[in-house]
Amino acid sequence: RRRTLVTVHEDAHVRQARMFGPVYPLVYGAWFVGGALVGATKWLMSDRSVALSRMVDTDAYYRNPFERHAYKLQGVSTPADARQR
**How does pLDDT run across 36-80, given as a tens digit for each residue?**
999 999 999 999 999 999 999 999 999 999 999 999 998 888 777
**How does pLDDT run across 44-54, given as a tens digit for each residue?**
999 999 999 99
| Residues across the chain | 85
Is pLDDT of 2 > 80? Answer: no
What is the distance between the alpha carbons of residues 82 and 85, in angstroms, rounded to a whole number?
Answer: 6
Question: Considering the entire predicted model, what is its pTM?
Answer: 0.84
Is pLDDT of 1 > 80? Answer: no
Measure CA 51 to chain center: 17
Q: 64 near 35, Cβ under 8 Å?
A: yes
- Enumerate residues 6+ apart whose C-beta is below 8 A from 39: 52, 55, 56, 57, 58, 59, 60
Q: Work out the number of other CB atoms within 10 angstroms of the CB of residue 52.
A: 14
